[in-house]
A and B are shown apart, each in its own frame.
Chain A
Amino acid sequence: MADFCMPSLGADMESGTLVEWLVEPGTLIRNGDVIATVETQKGLFEIEAFEDGILGEPLVQEGEEVPVGTVLAVIDAGKGAEAQTTKPVAAQAEATEERPPSEVFQERILASPAARRRAVELGVDLNAILGTGPDNVIQINDVEQAAKQRGVTKDKDETSVQPSSVDADAGMRKAIAAAMSVSNREIPHYYLESDMDMTTPLEWLEAENARKSIRERILPAALLLKAVALALRDVPQLNGYWVNDQLQMQSGIHIGFALALRSGGLLTPALHDVDTKPLAELMQTVGDVIERARNGRLRGSEMTDATVTVTNLGDRGVKTVLGVIYPPQVALIGFGRIAERPVVDQGKVVVRRCLTATLAGDHRATDGHTGALFLDALNRHLQKPEAL
């Protein structure tokens, strides 16, 4: 038996509203399955189970706001095998045909959870779709494409509860204010900056992209994220948390990716295990996370487990970003705009495409020397783009 609780999606969260149960009581769920959506000051999030087992009756009803830690339901790990499965709530509301849920959730159809739900929402049969993700995993856009070809259109927000935008903006502002105030009060920041010549990596990337279809095109941001992840492997002291007056380095490199929302505000969803992802897969992950952030479909875990943050303000023409660390993390890497600049190379002035990278470090956890090693490693990885 395990309790499925209202999670804390950030140090500043005190309570959350259970918006929707996505799985019916009695369903066999697995560790990592999305089983409910929760609304906080920062928006709507998908909440995952951390146990295998049978989901019990809901102890908190849809629409109820409860404090962090409140038990939402009990997961019974005991009788997993003989469980009878029922279909998810979303399917009940929208599926156009009866379909045994075992077919959707237990056969080895490789599909992202978001794609599975979208398929249920749109009444699309996953068996009939060829996935375009890594290992042919069916992704949400594959489902939408299939639905479009079939001429099915349905408003995806029909059943979800959206907060009024004024409340959401005010709430998000408050959440950002709380986290950043703690940061500036408690973290003694040090800042380093380093100019990087992006000509070689960009030429490599442009040649790669010229061979790809437009859907597979990789943005420079993916190169930067991957290079950061590899440099963090070299200098792991910057990848972790400052807790109980000591540095706790983390083995997984989960990069919080600062994302401005078109409606205003900022989210920093985590990209998981960036150091292990090939560039093409990383680019797809970035796209997936951006789309879900904008549609209010991020996972709870994506809001809490970033080990470091990257902010890229290059699109807005900024040259240098001196960032504020997101506690309890100990570093933030900032990228400005890639622009042509005069560079002296072997006594001659040449025009190169350059970028200013910055590091904001927590001086309690590391010293400037460590930060300098990191920026140096970052540049080395960027200059070998074929190895990214």
Chain B
Amino acid sequence: MTEQELQAIIFASLKKVAPESIPEDLDPDENFREELDIDSYTFLQMLVHIGEQTGVEVPEIDYGRVSTLSGMQGYLTARLSSPDSGKL
């Protein structure tokens, strides 16, 4: 999966749970949950969607690493290139 494809999946997942958001306009280093007022249920739905598209399930212990768009991208890239990294 290319970087662009992964970004497209992340953006689509965000749009799915927060349809009014414009992911392209967000600061990639900003906490998007706070920025977009995404509650814990909505965040979980976003992770479910990302999991379906990428096969990567983000464990709760790693939530802190995926709270920004750049963090999410980096985390998923690492998990996809080495399936065991980031697991419990």
Interface residues of A (CB under 8 A from B): 206, 209-210, 213-215, 217, 219-221, 260, 262, 286-287, 290, 315-316
Find out whether the CB atom of A262 lies under 8 angstroms from the CB atom of B44. Answer: no
With a cutoff of 8 Å between Cβ atoms, the chain A residues found around residue B47 in the complex are 214
With a cutoff of 8 Å between Cβ atoms, the chain A residues found around residue B51 in the complex are 214
Q: Once the chains are docked, how many angstroms separate the CA of A78 from the CA of B60?
A: 55
Find out whether the CB atom of A290 lies under 8 angstroms from the CB atom of B60. Answer: no
> What distance in Å separates the Cβ of B49 from its nearest Cβ neighbour in chain A?
10
Q: Once the chains are docked, how many angstroms separate the CA of A20 from the CA of B88?
A: 50
CB under 8 Å from chain A, chain B span 36-62:
37, 39-41, 44, 47-48, 51, 57-61
Q: Does B20 contact A (CB under 8 A)?
A: yes
Q: Once the chains are docked, how many angstroms separate the CA of A260 from the CA of B38?
A: 11
> What distance in Å separates the Cβ of A169 from its nearest Cβ neighbour in chain B?
14
With a cutoff of 8 Å between Cβ atoms, the chain A residues found around residue B44 in the complex are 214, 217, 219
Q: Once the chains are docked, how many angstroms separate the CA of A260 from the CA of B47?
A: 20
Q: Does B6 contact A (CB under 8 A)?
A: no
Q: Which of B18, B19, B41, B48 contacts A290 (CB 8 A)?
A: B41
With a cutoff of 8 Å between Cβ atoms, the chain B residues found around residue A214 in the complex are 44, 47-48, 51, 57-58
Q: Which of A210, A217, A221, A262 contacts B20 (CB 8 A)?
A: A262
Q: Once the chains are docked, how many angstroms separate the CA of A260 from the CA of B48?
A: 21
With a cutoff of 8 Å between Cβ atoms, the chain B residues found around residue A262 in the complex are 18-20, 37
Q: Once the chains are docked, how many angstroms separate the CA of A316 from the CA of B39?
A: 8
Q: Once the chains are docked, how many angstroms separate the CA of A162 from the CA of B61?
A: 40
Interface of A is mostly: helix
Find out whether the CB atom of B41 lies under 8 angstroms from the CB atom of A221. Answer: yes
With a cutoff of 8 Å between Cβ atoms, the chain B residues found around residue A209 in the complex are 59-60
Q: Which of A210, A260, A287, A315 contacts B60 (CB 8 A)?
A: A210
With a cutoff of 8 Å between Cβ atoms, the chain B residues found around residue A315 in the complex are 39-40
> What distance in Å separates the Cβ of B70 from its nearest Cβ neighbour in chain A?
22
With a cutoff of 8 Å between Cβ atoms, the chain B residues found around residue A220 in the complex are 40
Q: Which of B19, B20, B57, B60 contacts A206 (CB 8 A)?
A: B60
> What distance in Å separates the Cβ of B54 from its nearest Cβ neighbour in chain A?
12
Q: Once the chains are docked, how many angstroms separate the CA of A214 from the CA of B20?
A: 25
> What distance in Å separates the Cβ of A374 from its nearest Cβ neighbour in chain B?
25
Q: Once the chains are docked, how many angstroms separate the CA of A315 from the CA of B39?
A: 6
Interface residues of B (CB under 8 A from A): 18-20, 37, 39-41, 44, 47-48, 51, 57-61, 88
Find out whether the CB atom of B40 lies under 8 angstroms from the CB atom of A210. Answer: no
With a cutoff of 8 Å between Cβ atoms, the chain A residues found around residue B19 in the complex are 262
Apart from A286-B41, A287-B41, 12 more pairs, CB < 8 Å: A210-B61, A213-B57, A214-B48, A214-B51, A217-B44, A219-B41, A219-B44, A220-B40, A221-B40, A262-B18, A262-B37, A315-B40
With a cutoff of 8 Å between Cβ atoms, the chain B residues found around residue A290 in the complex are 41
With a cutoff of 8 Å between Cβ atoms, the chain B residues found around residue A217 in the complex are 44, 60
> What distance in Å separates the Cβ of A294 from its nearest Cβ neighbour in chain B?
9
Find out whether the CB atom of A210 lies under 8 angstroms from the CB atom of B59. Answer: yes
With a cutoff of 8 Å between Cβ atoms, the chain B residues found around residue A206 in the complex are 60-61
Query: Can you list 12 A-B contacts (CB < 8 A)?
Result: A206-B60, A210-B59, A210-B60, A210-B61, A214-B47, A214-B51, A214-B58, A219-B41, A262-B20, A262-B37, A315-B39, A316-B37
Residue of B nearest to A291 (CB): B45
With a cutoff of 8 Å between Cβ atoms, the chain B residues found around residue A215 in the complex are 48
> What distance in Å separates the Cβ of A215 from its nearest Cβ neighbour in chain B?
6
> What distance in Å separates the Cβ of B21 from its nearest Cβ neighbour in chain A?
10
With a cutoff of 8 Å between Cβ atoms, the chain B residues found around residue A316 in the complex are 37, 39
Q: Once the chains are docked, how many angstroms separate the CA of A209 from the CA of B60?
A: 8
In the complex, the 3 A-B pairs of residues with the closest C-beta atoms, listed nearest first: A315-B39, A214-B57, A214-B51
Q: Which of B19, B40, B47, B88 is most buried by chain A, counting CB atoms within 10 A of its CB?
A: B40
Find out whether the CB atom of A210 lies under 8 angstroms from the CB atom of B88. Answer: yes
Q: Once the chains are docked, how many angstroms separate the CA of A210 from the CA of B58?
A: 10
Q: Once the chains are docked, how many angstroms separate the CA of A217 from the CA of B19?
A: 23
Q: Once the chains are docked, how many angstroms separate the CA of A221 from the CA of B43?
A: 14
Residue of B nearest to A202 (CB): B60
> What distance in Å separates the Cβ of A39 from its nearest Cβ neighbour in chain B?
21
Q: Once the chains are docked, how many angstroms separate the CA of A260 from the CA of B36?
A: 13
> What distance in Å separates the Cβ of B86 from its nearest Cβ neighbour in chain A?
13
> What distance in Å separates the Cβ of A260 from its nearest Cβ neighbour in chain B?
8
> What distance in Å separates the Cβ of A76 from its nearest Cβ neighbour in chain B?
42
> What distance in Å separates the Cβ of B85 from its nearest Cβ neighbour in chain A?
17
Q: Once the chains are docked, how many angstroms separate the CA of A262 from the CA of B20?
A: 9
